[in-house]
Amino acid sequence: MDLGIAGKWALVCAASKGLGKGCAAALVGEGVNVVITARGEAALLATAAELRALNPAVQVLTVAGDITTIAGRVAALAACPRVDILVNNAGGPPPGDFRDWDREAWIKAVDANMLTPIELIKAVVDGMAERGFGRIVNITSGAVKAPIDILGLSNGARSGLTGFVAGLARQAKLASRNVTINNLLPGAYDTDRLKATLSGAAAKTGQPLEAVAEARRQQSPARRFGSAEEFGATCAFLCSAHAGFIVGQNLLSDGGAYPGTF
Ligand code: NAP
């Protein structure tokens, strides 16, 4: 299927590795020019080279910086000639017990996983409406639907974003102008972040890493982790010309791990 977005420009945040990289690769495969960001320059440049090899016909630009800072967002937006597609992403907050989190920890989580995407949406959404095309996908987490005890900072901050987006996406001045905003909720995906989480659990319990990983795989009916490539393909479809009637949704991609009917 031709997704009908060749020649568009996408800003894909936090995209040198993992899910962000998967999204950038899928968009590049569809002929979309991309600006990708991450803090570490070496991995960012290596990913840009991979993306250019994937599709030499598109432009791949890089902005090294922290997307959760004003300077990082200004630089990312300035590099993108026109934001037709915005993929919001950043690292997730650390796990822990809420008794140990002070105001500073909460502000950091809310800043990164709620206010950063909102600021970026604010910067691009009216231009999208004027041009009659816009796709915004926020990478959130399955924890928005089924909270994970030790990820309270993530549960809270991402739920705040989800509630805000539910209202904004339904503004007629956006939806009637072919501008969609949706959230994509990953379950367990095979990325560096998941490896770090599993290694932490293995160290804490004294179990072998592979045993911890296998137990986690068994938690989903798919009995496997998702791949960044399949996550990216789902994101690219939400960004496609065909997805203009999908508005304000929370799409869970978790191999069936969430047990609810809805
Ligand atoms: P990952 O493999 O660790 O990749 C994270 C990417 O984001 C890297 O490119 C990293 O590069 C970049 N990044 C992190 N913080 C950044 C910042 N402040 N500014 C700019 N770039 C930043 O992580 P992932 O698994 O793809 O996870 C992506 C998001 O999905 C996270 O919020 C995570 O919590 C969420 N999530 C993941 C899973 C999963 O199973 N993988 C499940 C649920 C939710 P630098 O470090 O160089 O900046």
User: What does the mean pLDDT of the chain come to?
Assistant: 97
User: What is the residue with the minimal CA distance to atom 17 of ligand 1?
Assistant: 66
The tokens for 151 are 């990820």
For residue 200, the model assigns a pLDDT of 87
37-68 pLDDT, tens digit per residue, is 999 999 999 999 999 999 999 999 999 999 99
| Residues 55/29, Cβ–Cβ less than 8 Å | yes
What is the Å distance from ligand 1's center to 70 Cα? 18
Q: What 8-state DSSP symbol labels residue 21?
A: H
223-244 pLDDT, tens digit per residue, is 999 999 999 999 999 999 999 9
| Residues 6/29, Cβ–Cβ less than 8 Å | no
For residue 106, the model assigns a pLDDT of 98
What is the Å distance from ligand 1's center to 91 Cα? 4
* Overall average pLDDT of the 96-104 stretch: 96
pTM: 0.98
d(CA 47, CA 188): 22
What is the Å distance from ligand 1's center to 141 Cα? 11
What is the Å distance from ligand 1's center to 173 Cα? 32
199-213 pLDDT, tens digit per residue, is 988 998 999 999 999
User: What is the residue with the minimal CA distance to atom 15 of ligand 1?
Assistant: 91
